[in-house]
Structure 1
Amino acid sequence: MKQNQKLISEVNSRDNELMKLIYTILNQYRQYPTGLSDRTSRINRPRGESKE
């Protein structure tokens, strides 16, 4: 029984760490929502060309 409690608390702490990580990533994505599309437009367009 004590072993089970130990495992449960270990899983819970890992779960909390994962949730923090996911939350951090989502917040970064919210701050830079166009980062991904900017990157793909750079790939599709040769350097030196304007965005117009």
Structure 2
Amino acid sequence: MSERSEAAPGDVVDLLLRQHAEVRRLFDRVEAAAGHERAEAFHAGGAGQGSKR
């Protein structure tokens, strides 16, 4: 018997919608900033992660 787990189709759609919302939020943050703050927002990646350079 296989222990393979498969996500329900709704779960996959929900995951993609959450990821899309997060990417949109991050781009909004970049678009709202200027200068050095814009570069930092672009490189931040996500809340609390800091610069990934």
What is the TM-score normalised by the length of structure 2?
Answer: 0.52
Q: Which aligned runs of 4 or more in structure 1 are off by greater than 3 angstroms?
A: none
Question: For structure 2, which runs of at least 5 residues remain unmatched after alignment?
Answer: 1-5, 41-53
Partner of 2:16: 15
- What is the aligned-residue identity percentage? 3
**How far, CA to CA, are the matches of 1:22 and 1:14 in structure 2?**
12
Q: What is the Cα deviation at residue 21 of structure 1?
A: 0.2
| RMSD, aligned α-carbons | 2.1
Q: What is the Cα deviation at residue 33 of structure 1?
A: 3.7
- Give the 3-state SS of the residue equivalent to 2:29 in structure 1: helix
- Name which structure has the greater RCO, CA cutoff 8 Å, separation 6+: 2
Question: For structure 1, which runs of at least 5 residues remain unmatched after alignment?
Answer: 38-52
What is the TM-score normalised by the length of structure 1?
Answer: 0.53
Q: Which is greater in Rg?
A: 1
Q: What is the Cα deviation at residue 25 of structure 1?
A: 0.3
> How many residues are matched?
33
